[in-house]
Amino acid sequence: MQTNLSTNPKQGRSVNDAFASHFAKSMFLSILALGILTFIGTRMFTHIDLNLYGYMIGTIVFIGGFFYRFIAWGERPPTKIIIKKGLKQLFRKSTPKTAAEHLVTYKFIWHRGIYRWLQHFLIGGGCILSCFVTFPLVFGWMYFTMDDNGYYTVVGLGMNLMKVSADGIIAFFFYNALNITAVMVITGVCMALYRRLKNMQARAEQKFMYDFLPLYMLLFISVTGLLLTFMNVVLHGWGQPVMSLIHQFSVIVTLIYLPFGKLAHIPFRPMSVFARNYREHYSEEAEKECKVCGSHFVSVEQSQDVIDVLGLNNMEFFKKEGFHLAELCLPCRRKYRIAQFSGIATHEIKVKEANQNAKG
């Protein structure tokens, strides 16, 4: 038993590094935070909207799934490095700009195509705005009281924020926020579905489970949500109780599915801000010189990180010439490969690579 322990390769890793420990810790802290916020927001649990308790349970199940997926993902060596070093650079001066471009305006998608940007902006904006409305209502962080007749008091985290006329324009947007976002999401999803039916490349690659299912689920949520309003306003509430259960079901199923399918890119996307900060910070610190031609191509830190990650995967690209392939700039690395085939040291010949873009 003793010898067994001493030969354990993972010796030195305490139980606190285990997946289950990370999971339990994250779950505990999140639910504690939710509980405290709800305690404050609902004025000591006196203003809970029990009509929405299904969403509350659904959210907690979602958090479980989210941590399961996210922590397992964070165990991968390259992911761990980006998260760790990205967090350290979180307070760079450029962070707000990068975050706005990556998470709010989706500038990089604009460059991939304006149609795709518009559909993504409608779906993404609609979903995120809906979340900002729904979750505060579910956990009682925001609710409405009517002290004076005809005037709603908006209560945010237990504080009276403002008084709005019940017939006013602001109140109109409060009542219809989810209707507006539903129309945004439906428009965006229809654009996405149209693209998937028409675009030949999309048709070649798409799969029902990965590409269509999330779109159908968002459509299901938005349509049932809009039907709720329709039943209230036009049908005077006929069928509304049943439809509200169907809507609740659609939202909870989507929440549980979210961390495991295409929609998982929503909570993971802030990683791109980490990656940008990581690259910018370490490039300012020290640039790596190509071991053959001497040109700068990446930061010293990232080159070393990639070498380490490859090492963990039992990939050692150390060459007899005395460099690791990750220490060569890309053209030199390609020429080095040609050199292996031909026996002529192409990478040592100081001639720029010729015509690599087929433009004649």
Partner 1 sequence: MKKRLYLELENCIGCRSCLAACTQCGGHEERNRNYVYDVNPLVNRQTMPLMCLHCVNPACARSCPAQAIQIHETGAVLSALVEKCIGCQNCTIACPYGIPKFDTEQNLMYKCDLCIDRSKDGIPPMCASVCPSNTLQWLTDEEIEAKQKQFNLDNGKWVTSMPYLEGETNVRVNLPGILQGVTKLF
For partner 1, the binding residues (CB under 8 A) are 73, 76, 78-79, 81-83, 102, 108, 111-112, 200-201, 204-205, 262, 265, 268-269, 271-272, 274-276, 278-279, 298, 302-303, 305-306, 309-310, 313, 315, 317, 325-326, 328-335, 337-338, 340-344, 346, 349, 351, 353-358
- Closest Cα to residue 286, out of 301, 271, 297, 305? 301
- What is the spatial distance between Cα 283 and Cα 286, in angstroms, rounded to a whole number? 5
**Of 100 and 330, CB closest to partner 1:** 330
- Closest Cα to residue 239, out of 253, 227, 251? 227
Shortest distance in whole angstroms from residue 30 CB to partner 1: 23
Residue 299, helix vs strand vs coil: strand
List Cβ neighbours of 265 (8 Å cut-off, separation of 6 or more).
none
**Of 138 and 325, CB closest to partner 1:** 325
Shortest distance in whole angstroms from residue 157 CB to partner 1: 33
- What is the spatial distance between Cα 224 and Cα 61, in angstroms, rounded to a whole number? 22
Shortest distance in whole angstroms from residue 279 CB to partner 1: 7
Shortest distance in whole angstroms from residue 305 CB to partner 1: 8
**Of 5 and 351, CB closest to partner 1:** 351
Per-residue tokens: 340: 């292996």
**Of 54 and 74, CB closest to partner 1:** 74
Per-residue tokens: 215: 């779109």
DSSP character for 353? P
Per-residue tokens: 54: 């299904």
Residue 71, helix vs strand vs coil: helix
**Of 160 and 340, CB closest to partner 1:** 340
Shortest distance in whole angstroms from residue 101 CB to partner 1: 9
Shortest distance in whole angstroms from residue 345 CB to partner 1: 9
What DSSP element (H or E) covers 147?
none
Shortest distance in whole angstroms from residue 207 CB to partner 1: 11
Shortest distance in whole angstroms from residue 22 CB to partner 1: 17
- What is the spatial distance between Cα 218 and Cα 347, in angstroms, rounded to a whole number? 52
**Of 49 and 280, CB closest to partner 1:** 280
Per-residue tokens: 205: 């690659």
What DSSP element (H or E) covers 163?
strand 159-165
Shortest distance in whole angstroms from residue 216 CB to partner 1: 17
